[in-house]
Amino acid sequence: MPVSRGIAIAVVCAVGASRSLRGQATDALYARCNAVSGWETRGFAFDPGIGTKSVWEWTLPLVVVAPIGRSVSLDLTTNYASARLDSYAGSSETLSGLTDTEVRILYTMSRDRLVGSISFNLPTGQHTLSASQFSVAGAVGSNYLSFPVSNFGTAFGVTGGVAYAQTAGGWNLGLSGSARYLSTYSPFAGDTVSYAPGMEVRVRGGADRLLGNKSRLLLGATVSTFSTDVYTGSNALVAGSYAPGTRLIGDVTWLRVFGRSTVTVAAWDLYRLAGVGSTGPNPETKENVLDADVRLTYGLRPGVEVEPSVAFRQWTPADYVGGRLGSGALTVRAGLTPRLALTVVGRYDAGWIFDQTSGRANLSGYGASAFLRLER
C-alpha cells in the first residue's frame, strides 16, 4: 500500500509539473509542483498528579502540491506517525501507522478572485482502535497541546468549499464557506459501536490591510456549525445522539517590517459552545483555547532567515482554566538551492495542566523538526 501510494504521488507530481510547464501562465492556486517532507517530533512530560507521565509523537509528513492544467491544482497530505503514552502506573502504550490521506482539488474560477474546492478524506489511517490505542490517540488529540498529527484516522469524507476575495477600499477581503461530510465508522475494536459524525458547515471572513507602509493587519473569523452526531451500539454504548456546539475561531495578526526584519504578532482564539446530548446539555463540552505568539523574522542573507519566537496558550475547558503553556522556538529557513529549501525548528514549552478530578501537574515540552521543500 505505501509503495503504490508513493507511485501515485510521484505520478501526480510528474503529470502536474509537466502540464504546468506547458502552460506557463497558469491560474491555478499552486502554480508549481512542490513536495514537503521531513521529520517532526513533539513531546510533553508531566509531573505526578494526572497519572500521565509523558506523551511523545514523531511524524513523517508528506505534502505534495501540483498544478493540473491551467486552472486546477491538487494537493495531497498524509503522514506516518508514531505516538507513545507513558503513565506513572507503569503502563506504556504506542500507536503507530499511516494517517488518513487528504486529497484536495482546487479549481480557480477567477484568478485571485474565486476558487472552488473539493477535498476527500481517504481512510488510510487507523480509525478503529483498541482500548489502549485509544488512550494514546486521545492524548495526541488534545486541542491544548496541539500535536503535529492529532488524528490517526476517521472515515471517508468529502468537503466542498468555495472562497472569494475582493478589495474594498484599503482592505483585502476574503470570504469562504464549506460543508463537510464524514461517513460512519467504528471507533473501537471489539465493540459494535458505530459513530456517524454530523455534517460541518463552515464560514470564514477575513480581512487585511496595510497600516502605513510597513505594517499590515490581518483579521479573520471562522464559524462552524454541526448537524447532530449519531452513535449506535449494543455493548457499552447504546443508541444516542449529540448536537455539537458551534465552534468559533477568531484570529488576528499584525506584522511590521523593520529593515531586514519582520516582527509578527499573531493570536487566535477557538471557542466551542456547549453541546447537547441525548440526556441534555453537556457543559463539559464547552471549550476555549487562546493562543498568542510573537515572532521576529530576520533575513541573514538572501534565502536564509532565522526566526525566534515566543508563544502563550491558555486552555479553558468548561468554566475553569485547564492549563497555561509558554513556549519558545527558533526556526531557521534556508534555500539550499533555487528549488530546495530547508526549515529546521527547535522549541521548548513549559506550563501546567489542571483537571477538576485529578488536580494540577506541571509539564514541559520539547519539539524539533526538519522539513525539506522541493519545487519542480
* Near other proteins in 278-307, by CB under 8 A: 282, 284-285, 287, 289, 291, 293, 295, 297, 299, 301-305
Question: Could you say whether residue 112 binds other proteins (CB under 8 A)?
Answer: yes
How far apart CA 84 and CA 270 sit, in angstroms, is 27
Nearer to other proteins, 96 or 228 (CB): 228
- Give the type of residue at 314: Q
Question: Could you say whether residue 56 binds other proteins (CB under 8 A)?
Answer: no
How far apart CA 38 and CA 372 sit, in angstroms, is 6
Nearer to other proteins, 15 or 194 (CB): 194
1, 236, 280, 319: which one contacts other proteins (CB under 8 A)?
A: 236
How far apart CA 307 and CA 309 sit, in angstroms, is 6
The cell 468548561 sits on which residue? 318
Nearer to other proteins, 26 or 82 (CB): 26
Nearer to other proteins, 15 or 263 (CB): 263
Question: Could you say whether residue 58 binds other proteins (CB under 8 A)?
Answer: no
Number of H helices, E strands in the chain: 2, 22
What is the DSSP code string of 153-176? ----EEEEEEEEEEEETTEEEEEE
Q: Say how far residue 235 (Cα) sits from the centre of its chain.
A: 33
Alpha-carbon radius of gyration of the chain: 22
Query: Which residues ranging from 321 to 360 are in contact with other proteins (CB under 8 A)?
Result: 327, 329, 333-335, 341, 343, 353, 355, 357-358
Question: Could you say whether residue 146 binds other proteins (CB under 8 A)?
Answer: yes
User: Which of the stretches 2-10, 11-19, 275-283 binds other proteins when contact is defined by CB under 8 A?
Assistant: 275-283
Q: Least separation, in Å, of the C-beta of 150 and other proteins?
A: 4
Count of residues that bind other proteins according to CB under 8 A: 168
Question: Could you say whether residue 207 binds other proteins (CB under 8 A)?
Answer: yes
Nearer to other proteins, 90 or 169 (CB): 169
Q: Least separation, in Å, of the C-beta of 95 and other proteins?
A: 10
Question: Could you say whether residue 227 binds other proteins (CB under 8 A)?
Answer: yes
Question: Could you say whether residue 200 binds other proteins (CB under 8 A)?
Answer: yes
For residue 199, the 8-state DSSP code is P
Nearer to other proteins, 1 or 168 (CB): 168
How far apart CA 39 and CA 53 sit, in angstroms, is 24
**Biggest distance spanned by C-alpha atoms of the chain:** 65
Query: Which residues ranging from 4 to 23 are in contact with other proteins (CB under 8 A)?
Result: none
3-state secondary structure of 98: strand
Question: Could you say whether residue 137 binds other proteins (CB under 8 A)?
Answer: yes
How far apart CA 215 and CA 189 sit, in angstroms, is 53
44, 71, 82, 288: which one contacts other proteins (CB under 8 A)?
A: 44
Question: Could you say whether residue 139 binds other proteins (CB under 8 A)?
Answer: yes
Q: Least separation, in Å, of the C-beta of 7 and other proteins?
A: 20
Q: Least separation, in Å, of the C-beta of 97 and other proteins?
A: 13
Question: Could you say whether residue 119 binds other proteins (CB under 8 A)?
Answer: yes
How far apart CA 330 and CA 351 sit, in angstroms, is 19
1, 3, 4, 24: which one contacts other proteins (CB under 8 A)?
A: 24
Assigned C-alpha cell, 256: 511590521
**Total number of residues shown for the chain:** 376
What is the DSSP code string of 232-277? E-SSS--SEEEEPPPEEEEEEEEEEEETTEEEEEEEEEEEEPPEEE
Residue pair 168/126 in contact (Cβ under 8 Å)? The answer is no
3-state secondary structure of 293: strand
Nearer to other proteins, 14 or 260 (CB): 260
Q: Least separation, in Å, of the C-beta of 280 and other proteins?
A: 13
Question: Could you say whether residue 124 binds other proteins (CB under 8 A)?
Answer: no
